[in-house]
Amino acid sequence: MKALEEKILREGTVLPGNILKVGSFLNHQIDAGFVVEMGKEIARLFEGEQITKILTIETSGIAIALGAAIAMDVPMVFAKKNRTGNLSGEMYSTVVHSYTHGTDYTVVVEKRYISQNDRILIVDDFLANGKAIQGLINIINQAGAKTCGAAVAIEKGFQSGGDELRREGIRVEALALIDSMDGGKVIFRD
């Protein structure tokens, strides 16, 4: 998606450790109109897949997942990081490893929000090592539903998560696919 590549070049910042900051429009401040456009592009890519539900993980996937859900006119569910509080009912859960924070965390989805008839599209802001998306696939499998693919705003193509998912037969679409950020310069794949 050309407009996203341009926005990354204009507003993104590369920090040490191959961190790409896009907090001005994607995951701290949200450019609402642009999230709607990204959602439309995701809907176009997965047209004909008869998606019934979008699944993401809190926190930073929620905005783009909602953009996709609006464009596709389906509900969106976000997996919650496990805490006490307002979750009752039976839950699917899985453990996700965070490289950023160096810890494991559990995410949960109430069983009533995924049925075995659902055709689910996973949506997230970033794909790097793929652990979050693997966790969501695990939850979809527990529910007996179908994973129709994963759509992310930005894939770090120099990390292995996307290719591992594709090898497992998952359709993965990135609106912007970055090949390199060496020396702070973002290079997109053609």
Cβ(164)–Cβ(130) below 8 Å: yes
- Shortest Cβ distance from residue 167 to its own copies (Å)? 28
Report the residue number, 80 or 161, with the smaller CB distance to its own copies: 80
Interface residue with its own copies, options 6, 23, 47, 182 (CB under 8 A) = 23
50 binds its own copies (CB under 8 A): no
DSSP letter, residue 86: S
Under the binding rule (CB under 8 A), the answer on residue 92 touching its own copies is no
Name the minimum Å distance from CB 141 to its own copies. Answer: 19
Which H helix or E strand runs over 32? helix 32-45
Q: Using an 8 Å Cβ cutoff, are 143 and 115 in contact?
A: yes
Instruction: For residue 159, give the nearest of 131, 122, 137 by alpha carbon.
Output: 131
Residue from 85, 169, 183, 184 in contact with its own copies (CB under 8 A): 85
Per CB under 8 A, the list member of 2, 10, 48, 101 interacting with its own copies is 101
With binding defined as CB under 8 A, does residue 70 bind its own copies?
A: yes
- Host H or E run for residue 161: helix 161-167
Does 116 participate in binding its own copies (rule CB under 8 A)?
no
Is residue 150 within 8 A of residue 132, CB to CB? The reply is: no
User: Does 184 engage in binding with its own copies (CB under 8 A)?
Assistant: no
| Residue 9, SS3 per DSSP | helix
Q: Which helix (H) or strand (E) holds 109?
A: strand 103-110
Closer CB to its own copies, residue 25 or residue 46? 25
30 binds its own copies (CB under 8 A): yes
| Cβ atoms of residues 78 and 56 within 8 Å | yes
- Closest approach, Cβ 59 to its own copies, in A, equals 5
Neighbours of 143 (CB within 10 A): 18
Contacts with its own copies by CB under 8 A lie at: 15, 19, 21, 23-25, 27-33, 35-36, 58-59, 62-63, 66-67, 69-70, 73-78, 80, 83-88, 100-101, 109-110, 112-113
